Structure 1
Amino acid sequence: MNILITGQHLDLTPAIRAYVESKLDRIVRHFDQVIDIAVILGVDTPADKDRRHRAEVNLRVKGDVIHAESRAEDLYAAIDTLVEKLDRQVLKVKEKIKGHRQTSIKHIPEPGAEMP
């Protein structure tokens, strides 16, 4: 799994990078089929003073791309809400994949047959 963390109008410190990686471990723990993760952290223009810090993520899994975005006053708060949103989406995709793995038609007993 590859993790790419970039900053727009923001210096990425090792503390921020470590914080993001530790939060993304939660996602990988729930769903291990992650191919790569691209995280974009940034600061928006001063027009939106209440929620200046932005965090986005594109998570590639087999056959799908999951996108989540979050804005907050604090960068760490934006990262926290981003990971919560992403976690819900990943669990939804995981349940969707797991739901399609039902037994095949040849293994379903016929309506009049007895169960062993």
Structure 2
Amino acid sequence: MNLNITGHHIEVTPAIRDYVSSKLDRVIRHFDNVTSVAVILSVEKLRQKAEVTLHVRGKDIFVESDDADLYAAIDAMADKLDRQVQKYKQKQAEHNHDALKHQVPEA
């Protein structure tokens, strides 16, 4: 998995980088097909914004969150991403189950 963390109007310190990667590791444990992750951290006046694009086979999952505190924005982003990944994984499992159900048995 390729992890890219960038900052707009903010310096990405090693502490922030470690915090983001630990939060994303928790999400990515649920799903093996992640090819790359792009995280953008930005500051707009008094709002701290965190956004992530997760590239999986056949789809890109995008989540953004903002808060007055950067760490709270990262936490909210990770929670949203976790829900999106679980939803996508559930859809994939249902799709595969339906495909198996509709196969014609051999005679």
Pairwise same-fold verdict (TM > 0.5): yes
Distance 1:11 1:105 in 2: 54
Instruction: Give 2:43's aligned residue.
Output: 43
Structure 1 segments, 4+ long, off by >6 Å, are: none
Distance 1:32 1:74 in 2: 30
TM superposition score normalised by structure 2: 0.92
Instruction: Give 1:3's aligned residue.
Output: 3
Distance 2:64 2:73 in 1: 9
Give the number of aligned pairs.
102
Kindly state the Cα deviation for residue 5 of structure 1 after the two structures are TM-superposed: 0.1
2:24 maps to 1:29? no
2:81 maps to 1:86? yes
Among all aligned residue pairs of Structure 1 and Structure 2, give the percentage whose two residues are the same amino acid: 54
Q: 1:106 aligns with which of 74, 88, 104?
A: 104
Quote the RMSD (CA, aligned, Å): 0.9
Could you say what secondary structure the match of 1:31 adopts?
coil
Greater C-alpha radius of gyration:
1
Kindly state the Cα deviation for residue 88 of structure 1 after the two structures are TM-superposed: 0.4
Opposite residue 103 of structure 2, the aligned amino acid is: I
Higher helix share: 2
TM superposition score normalised by structure 1: 0.85
